[in-house]
Amino acid sequence: MRGRLITIEGVEGVGKSSVLPVVRDFLTEQGVQVLQTREPGGTELGEQLRDVLLNTDQEIVPSAELLLMFAARAQHVEKVIQPALQSGIWVLSDRFTDSSFAYQGGGRQLGAERVEVLERWVLGDLHADLTLLLDATRETSLERTKKRRQLDRIETEGDEFFERVRLAFLQRAKADPLRVKVIDANPDFKTVAASLRVQLEVSCGQWLSEAVAS
């Protein structure tokens, strides 16, 4: 039986990396095999493109940024995601196409139409089965980002950029509420992790029973 694609999304510093193990552990405890990956990245080429994209040394124009994101994604989908799903492995990706809609479509103001064209071309029929969108106020994500390493190229953008990104994510959730589930990421880690587990039980329960029975 084909695996499922679960993606985790949200603005920078909202806590995606911190909650990934919670999601992975929940799924493996239910008996499915899980491949954890990330975008941009997930393949050798993808990781090289990630370095180019996040490096602060050079300016990258918005259209080039969008195309590079999709170049990395094309390699990722064909070499890693599709083969895993076809062999029954569940794929858990830290970011996927919703990030392009939010950052390049919204943040960089390229608009959703251009992202849709690339999405159709690169993904074909593939789409995330479930997207967990961690949402927090700008103050919360900024506070959390400050705790970390040096900022990358995209993280050096200002408040207005990140407000547009957050809004674009929330619009994606509103447009596709069955797939995109918004998790309030403002509370402490334990509370966020508990909300995620509840959502996973609701959204994946049936799929997990079918996968384990097959």
User: Which residues in this chain contact ligand Z5A in the complex, by CB under 6 A?
Assistant: 10, 12-18, 39-40, 69, 94-95, 99-100, 103-104, 144, 147-148, 154-155, 188-189, 192
Minimum distance between the CB of residue 100 and ligand Z5A, rounded to whole angstroms?
Answer: 4
Looking at beta carbons only, is 184 or 210 nearer to ligand Z5A?
Answer: 184
Cα separation, 79 vs 139, in Å, equals 38
Cα separation, 76 vs 24, in Å, equals 19
Looking at beta carbons only, is 3 or 15 nearer to ligand Z5A?
Answer: 15
Looking at beta carbons only, is 78 or 210 nearer to ligand Z5A?
Answer: 78
H-helix or E-strand containing 68?
helix 62-76
Looking at beta carbons only, is 57 or 188 nearer to ligand Z5A?
Answer: 188
- What 150-159 contacts at long range (C-beta under 8 Å, 24+ apart), as own/partner pairs, is 151/56, 152/54, 152/55, 152/56, 153/53, 153/54, 153/55, 153/56, 153/60, 154/12, 154/53, 154/54, 154/103, 155/12, 156/56, 157/107
Looking at beta carbons only, is 102 or 211 nearer to ligand Z5A?
Answer: 102
Minimum distance between the CB of residue 205 and ligand Z5A, rounded to whole angstroms?
Answer: 25
Strand order in the sheet with 90-94: 34-38, 90-94, 5-9, 130-135, 180-184
Minimum distance between the CB of residue 13 and ligand Z5A, rounded to whole angstroms?
Answer: 5
Minimum distance between the CB of residue 178 and ligand Z5A, rounded to whole angstroms?
Answer: 22
